[in-house]
Amino acid sequence: MRRITLTALVAVTLGNPVSVLAEPQAEVLHWWTSGGEAKSVAVLQQEFAANGGTWTDMPVAGGGGDAAMTALRARVLSGNAPTAVQLKGPAIQEWYEEGALADISAVAEAEGWVDVLPASIAGHMRCEGTWCAAPVNVHRVDWIWANAGVLEANGVSMPSTWEEFNAAAEKLQAAGIIPLAHGGQAWQDATVFEAVALGILGADGFRKAFVELDENALTSDAMVAVFDQMRILRGHVDRNFSGRDWNLATAMVMNGEAAFQIMGDWAKGEFLAAGKVPGEDFLCASTPGDGFLYNVDSFAMFNVDGDDKRAGQELLAKLIVGKNFQKVFNLNKGSIPARTDVSLDEFDSCAHLSAEDMAASSEGGSLLPSYAHGMALRGAQAGAITDVVTAHFNSDMSSADAVEMLANAVANSM
């Protein structure tokens, strides 16, 4: 009797066209290197190994992923692309247009992805009708995190308006507490900026400005007000913020050195990894204003040679969107599952709030892709906006001048 290996069973289950003798191999390029992130990606490594695969890890440090993208470009140009790459938003389409991505539609169809993924999320994973990437999660970007003890000791509540935040920040600063923990890196500046912009411009104004790149929205009085608020926030960070990694800013909130941080819910993964309890040790709330900015982590599969690597891609894609990984990964990462049929019973109160707000924002038309995290715009346009944001944040540039520079930068990037 012919022996059927675990690899063969996986291949048959996936409808895998490659040889059943191929043992799944995956070299995975990603930028999940901080505590909570590393713990999360380890979940995928373990599940991949448990299903007969061999994982080669290729972590590239840098929370915004810029260094990882530089490494990816070098690998592709040398004709030696990784098996799978952490990639998202329009960047997926850009690599597809270069002919670099593999088709994983067989897995998606066998696993019924279209029935369990929100249409907006699924849209990012498709390339001209074929499936070319697998979504891992949904991160909310517009969060504000706080040290519960610091707020209580200073008689401060979680702010629901930017005016309330500014008043709380002044009170905390007078008490010798750093109001806002921030890392002076361009992508972190952009993260704060778009959260402020959503709150001041509103969902429609944000969409016009940072999805449609409408000139009137980019040059409006409301956009001047966005930069005015950024100038106020600049006065509430410490002197040593330049170059600080985001997770070190999160640690400042954890240890009570700072009161607040404006950051996506990957920051919650850091709190949880440190044993902190939401509602007791730290607090979470959306930044002032209505709407929901999303950032979806995903893995794109690149064209590779060899049945073993293609088998690895198909196994990896199946596991990534599988219920078990979606649950366990997001419990560690701080995000919520991309699948809509995963129970949230084991998730914390911040995750429940995120899921509720996402559903309400989707229904109300205020569920929006993050520009700062590569979901709304292609690289040139997003980079042009961020360059202006960072230039303003690190200088005495007036808000009016920043708005003029913003409009010119976007026009020149198109």
Q: What percent of the chain has pLDDT over 90?
A: 82
pLDDT of residue 6 exceeding 70: no
Do 225 and 200 form a contact (C-beta atoms < 8 A)?
Answer: yes
Say yes or no: 98 and 52 in one domain: yes
Range with lowest mean pLDDT among 89-103, 240-254, 292-306, 352-366: 352-366
| 264 within domain boundaries | yes
SS3 content of the chain, % helix, strand, coil (to 5): 50, 15, 35
Do 41 and 137 form a contact (C-beta atoms < 8 A)?
Answer: no
Say yes or no: 176 and 230 in one domain: yes
pTM: 0.84
| 1 within domain boundaries | no
pLDDT of residue 63 exceeding 80: no
Confidence of residue 141 (pLDDT cuts 50, 70, 90): very high
Task: Note the pLDDT of residue 15.
Answer: 47
CATH number of domain containing 233: 3.40.190.10
Say yes or no: 186 and 276 in one domain: yes
- Residue 84 bridge partners (DSSP): 28, 301
Say yes or no: 242 and 345 in one domain: no
Say yes or no: 47 and 149 in one domain: no
Here the tokens at position 332 are: 């560690």
Total of domains in the chain:
2
Residue ranges making up the domain that contains 121:
6-139+295-349
291-311 core/surface letters (b: 16 or more CB in 10 A; e: else): bbbbbbbbbbbbebeebbbbb
Range with lowest mean pLDDT among 35-49, 234-248, 289-303: 35-49
Q: What is the pLDDT of residues 198-242, one digit of tens each?
A: 999 999 999 999 999 999 999 999 999 999 999 999 999 999 999
pLDDT of residue 14 exceeding 80: no
Say yes or no: 77 and 206 in one domain: no
Confidence of residue 249 (pLDDT cuts 50, 70, 90): very high
Residue 414: CB atoms within 10 Å: 9
Task: Note the pLDDT of residue 8.
Answer: 38
Say yes or no: 316 and 270 in one domain: no
Q: What is the pLDDT of residues 78-130, one digit of tens each?
A: 999 999 999 989 999 999 999 999 999 999 999 999 999 988 889 999 999 89
Say yes or no: 190 and 109 in one domain: no
Task: Note the pLDDT of residue 21.
Answer: 58
| pLDDT averaged over every residue in the chain | 92
Say yes or no: 303 and 290 in one domain: no
Give the full edge-to-edge strand order of the sheet including 367-369: 336-337, 137-140, 292-295, 367-369
